[in-house]
Amino acid sequence: MLFFFGGLLSVLVHSGTLYGLWALGFFDLLPSIVGENVFLYNFLTVGLSEETVKFSIFALFAWGYKSFKEPQDGVLLGALVGLGF
């Protein structure tokens, strides 16, 4: 349940990250870099920040998780973070 609620928390962190990047003017520079390619623009803004935040929450919670023994545990716990998101 901890990893599921971590996924819910990652939504708030992701929103704050996007707002922070927007406030810093990062998104103003992207159209000049990617041109009119909407897929690449969305990949660099939403996709990259979303996956980074989800992995960071997973790594933070997995660091202190004592019964993390097998690779399958990581797969299931990572899926729980994604499900919570």
Q: What is the pLDDT along the chain (85 residues), one digit of tens a residue?
A: 888 888 888 888 877 777 777 677 766 766 666 667 778 777 777 788 788 888 888 888 888 777 777 888 888 888 888 888 8
Q: Which residues of 36-72 are buried (b: 16+ CB within 10 A; e: fewer)?
A: eeeeebeebbeeebbeebbeebbeebbeeeeeeeeee
Domain ranges of the chain: 2-84
Return the structure tokens found at 59: 């790594």
Q: What is the C-alpha to C-alpha distance for residues 82 and 24, in angstroms, rounded to an integer?
A: 27
Q: What is the C-alpha to C-alpha distance for residues 14 and 54, in angstroms, rounded to an integer?
A: 8
Q: Are 15 and 25 in contact (CB under 8 A)?
A: no
